[in-house]
Structure 1
């Protein structure tokens, strides 16, 4: 209870009668019971929680600043959804005896925190911590993960980096880039049983040769995979491939939004008038060079991007936007367009120096920049909670990439009520599939997706919306309707993604009866 509520607030007293208004009193009682049993409300024990509550009250009331507030003595506590994940992992190991587990959780719900808390649970004592290998593909992600583990363990000296020029000395708790650990000289320096626990971030990359090399080399007591989307654009489901189709714990984007764990989004599909039909399209991707030539220097498309920002963003000068581009040239072109329009912008890529990237994010956070245009950067792993606008300036049918880019702005932050997403839609190659990313975004089947587009997506989580302009809606609808008639290969992939949970993947045989005239598929166990 706040001081204002107790001292300064205007209080209304309402007299209710059990005889006159029994239904209202019943509603009060049932609502109270619902709150009382809701895991989102934590129990309070003065002996255990007094310091924790006092610290949070001081911090949130403004009586103390983060600079002067010492919270080092406080444990990192899981949120209810994270506690559920931890319980699921414990159950998989202790009840079912499964020691290779996949955690699927939407971007922004704290997968790394769960992994760190899970590791803490497996520590017999501070002096007897199991050996650990944490694998990711970018230095920034590894540094962030290392900080998380140190906070959870309350040990500022825990762990070592193995990335770039950083080499581990003790080699007991290693946070390694996949590029460093997968090299022959990086891999064979470790015995197979060296690490008792292996955690692999962004596990949807596991199909890649480097990840497979690491997975095949080590024989840990516990393997934990982390991902937001186990389904890949090429049809490979890493849950099926590496975990016999089993997911230890799962929290998808639409569930996280419904539970109010992330900020709601306002997604706008905007036709940009660009014809991509002649661009080479293979294995689910456009040719980068051809796409870059089409977009770079395209002032007509850039003008539509600026007009959309002006129309959809309340105050573009105060936005903190991230724009995903197809190439370095494209990013630089868009940054120049925005700078010329009075919106300070910067182009960054995987080739940019770490210091340049860090300073760019700091300038964006401080309001010195309105937008960063990125190439092969910031797609995944990094926490950038201040992002309130996402510009999707390159086409992607990959559900994984789409959700990762969207997820850059879904994390909660002060003064951010909603994420604005501007996705620019062109006339795509006939093989391009819109349904993959929109099904991943909404959790809908192909048939339901078609009806939802026509109806304006009436059943999204509270506060979120998906809006297409007239031309973009026509493009997307026509494309989705074509996907209702899938090839045999695509049908096999689709059925695999909807296998019943009660049937272990190792215990059934997948068979399909295809009727090309009807487009029907039947699975038998």
Structure 2
């Protein structure tokens, strides 16, 4: 605890105290330390406390704080000044790296400590010059995202990484805000536009020129506006745009449709930008549309929504953007994250588990991959979607809601804690022999026995043996793949291995099947099944290989969640059929199973509960249930009655029908219960008007979007609505229509009935659902 210049005591939170202690501990052995803390958890307050302690012990020392943008310098100075450390004192100087690069020779006092704010930018040449000029100064790098798109680590500059708790932990402990997350659907027009982006900029991200050409168009901007109107009408928020023109077009369209929005970019004069920010903080401006201006360092806790309108492959950009909305504020129930560019499908939710140490070391890139939410690093909401609040023609879907988030975080934490060996596999060198071994944390799992270790990934290592051949071993050193003599091995995403021979020529190995390819395969995802595409041919990832031309028609492919089927309309079935009256039973059908990398199968049919029957190449039949793998049930040449296909299948059909019926009843009860709970939560919904249309709100949250000509005050769980002039009907508070709008008047009673006027003088009373 320490005091500011007014004598007021200021204390750090417990997690900040813990990180500060670990920083000083790290400085005992390392001169350069990087700290990772999520956006909104008080990095600047922590560095102010570190500086305060350092200067209290050695008052004559000089401290520099370096930022990569001049806008951040003033903010840092203001925060540090709250702790009695003002720039006028001369002990602490805050400056931008650009200014410092122009004034090396104008500064004569060498710093004892150099603090790098937003240190993930520190790989620039100007920062390397800083290290070269002041090699004896302690270094402290502060960042929320120690990662780079190009997989370049930070170990050339920093000796060690101190990580804080995760975003999920901070939300669970009440330090960061809960959130709703809405993302575009995978089959939406916007997702298809983003999938079409093929050009990359110098840093490996999407090319701005191509993004602007594809997305800076009226229909796309209209969908952006509709998303805000639906999910965040009347709320205060930030929009992240692609380019200056894109930002200005968004702000103009929003303003013309009743939203107080302004655009801020690098060309906005500094004085005007400062005024806009102040007006936004004071509530005089509702929406700031910006181009990379407020990705870092911007502090406005009462932001109620963040809209992502700029595609990116950068994990750092994604987390910096969503982090603007996760600060807590008085009266702020939750933050609405509106993802109009599919970042959720590249990075998962903000609460996903990240391996910062691997990114810091350069073993993992901070890069997203289209159409892929990796379970190793990311976590999707799964069955916690909340699509019951969305109309069928909406392009967005709710993948997480703030009321479901706490339970979800608990489930994820339990899964991580119960998952064995989820620590990163590390390499160590034996100084005596010069050989390398493997370890988890401080536990050695494989003794030093390798000439070199090229790479590690998910419990496996690519190594060179003493005989100079190379291969893949698991964490205990067990050889999983021997490859002969090669120059280099490198693990790639999706369980692919890049192999470079002694002439520098590269080839690729599928670690699932063991098959080698001369060109890098492109991963094709069909539900939970993957295939590899090379030169127009799709290959299965099974040891017994199946291949198919990639230009298959939709009629030839059928996805069924845990399996993938390919029809051959010119070939009769190669196995027995469960149901010969099935429309597809007259054709041969090859089947690939999720998480089965041994072989492909012939499809025999589907049972009433969705499970399937397949046959392998040895004439054995299996029952396959989703999430349970395959179970042997019969064979082509049975040795016992229990292995006879014609005996087993009728019994399995009956059992599957019973399971299907039970599951249907359970789902029906659960659906009714969920709906009942939702109606109870929104019983105080009230009509509101937007433009010429009416909808329902509870507080600031839109329950039913404004699509009706008129609405009456709700009675119980019901509300009368006017669709067309003098055509009234009844909806429930969640928007479900229970009485079509074709009556000239509707009167809802407290007892759950409604009196409907068909024509003047002629009425009828109906019992509502």
Which of 179, 187, 199 aligns to 1:281? It is 199
Paired residues for 1:84-483 under 5 Å:
84-94=18-28, 97-124=29-56, 128-152=59-83, 154-156=84-86, 158=88, 172-183=91-102, 186-190=103-107, 194-238=110-154, 240-244=155-159, 246-271=160-185, 273-274=189-190, 275-282=193-200, 283-296=203-216, 298-313=217-232, 316-317=233-234, 319-425=235-341, 437-438=347-348, 441-443=351-353, 446-447=374-375, 452-456=380-384
More strand by share: 2
- Quote the Cα distance in structure 2 between the aligned partners of 1:269 and 1:145: 34
| 1:369-417 deviations in Å (ceiling 9; x for gaps) | 2211001201101212121110100101211011101111111222112
Q: Unaligned regions of 5+ residues in structure 2, if any?
A: 355-372, 387-391, 400-423, 428-437, 456-461, 463-471, 473-490, 492-496, 498-508, 515-769
Structure 1 residues 328 and 75: alpha-carbon distance in aligned structure 2, compared to 1, 3 A threshold:
same
- Quote the Cα distance in structure 2 between the aligned partners of 1:501 and 1:472: 42
* Contact 1:135–1:175 under 8 Å retained in 2: yes
| 1:246-277 deviations in Å (ceiling 9; x for gaps) | 31342332222222211112111024613134
* Contact 1:385–1:413 under 8 Å retained in 2: yes
Compute the displacement of 1:496 (Å).
7.8
Structure 1 residues 133 and 436: alpha-carbon distance in aligned structure 2, compared to 1, 3 A threshold:
farther
Matched position secondary structure for 1:251: coil
TM-score between the two structures when normalised by the length of structure 2: 0.47
Structure 1 residues 280 and 501: alpha-carbon distance in aligned structure 2, compared to 1, 3 A threshold:
same
Which of 8, 12, 33 aligns to 1:78? It is 12
Compute the displacement of 1:328 (Å).
0.7
Q: Unaligned regions of 5+ residues in structure 1, if any?
A: 1-47, 53-69, 160-169, 427-432, 459-467, 476-493
2:511 is the counterpart of 1:518: yes
* Contact 2:80–2:86 under 8 Å retained in 1: no
- Quote the Cα distance in structure 2 between the aligned partners of 1:208 and 1:120: 28
* Contact 2:308–2:341 under 8 Å retained in 1: no
Matched position secondary structure for 1:232: coil
Q: How many residues were matched structurally? A: 396
- Quote the Cα distance in structure 2 between the aligned partners of 1:82 and 1:495: 28
| 1:417-447 deviations in Å (ceiling 9; x for gaps) | 2111101136xxxxxx966532764116823
| 1:104-124 deviations in Å (ceiling 9; x for gaps) | 100111111111111111124
- Quote the Cα distance in structure 2 between the aligned partners of 1:451 and 1:200: 31
* Contact 1:453–1:473 under 8 Å retained in 2: no
Structure 1 residues 520 and 249: alpha-carbon distance in aligned structure 2, compared to 1, 3 A threshold:
farther
Matched position secondary structure for 2:341: strand
- Quote the Cα distance in structure 1 between the aligned partners of 2:329 and 2:228: 21
- Quote the Cα distance in structure 2 between the aligned partners of 1:469 and 1:146: 49
1 or 2 for the larger relative contact order (CA 8 Å, sep ≥6)?
1
- Quote the Cα distance in structure 1 between the aligned partners of 2:81 and 2:223: 46
- Quote the Cα distance in structure 1 between the aligned partners of 2:79 and 2:61: 17
- Quote the Cα distance in structure 2 between the aligned partners of 1:241 and 1:434: 32
* Contact 2:300–2:324 under 8 Å retained in 1: yes
Compute the displacement of 1:210 (Å).
2.0
| 1:20-64 deviations in Å (ceiling 9; x for gaps) | xxxxxxxxxxxxxxxxxxxxxxxxxxxx99xx9xxxxxxxxxxxx
* Contact 2:181–2:337 under 8 Å retained in 1: yes
Compute the displacement of 1:233 (Å).
1.7
- Quote the Cα distance in structure 2 between the aligned partners of 1:237 and 1:366: 40
Compute the displacement of 1:75 (Å).
2.7
Structure 1 residues 520 and 447: alpha-carbon distance in aligned structure 2, compared to 1, 3 A threshold:
farther
Compute the displacement of 1:353 (Å).
1.8
Q: Which residue of 1 aligns with 2:526?
A: none
Matched position secondary structure for 2:79: helix
- Quote the Cα distance in structure 2 between the aligned partners of 1:135 and 1:469: 49
* Contact 1:425–1:472 under 8 Å retained in 2: no
Compute the displacement of 1:327 (Å).
0.6
* Contact 2:182–2:396 under 8 Å retained in 1: no
CA RMSD, 1 decimal: 3.5
* Contact 1:346–1:369 under 8 Å retained in 2: yes
Structure 1 residues 471 and 517: alpha-carbon distance in aligned structure 2, compared to 1, 3 A threshold:
farther
* Contact 1:107–1:407 under 8 Å retained in 2: yes
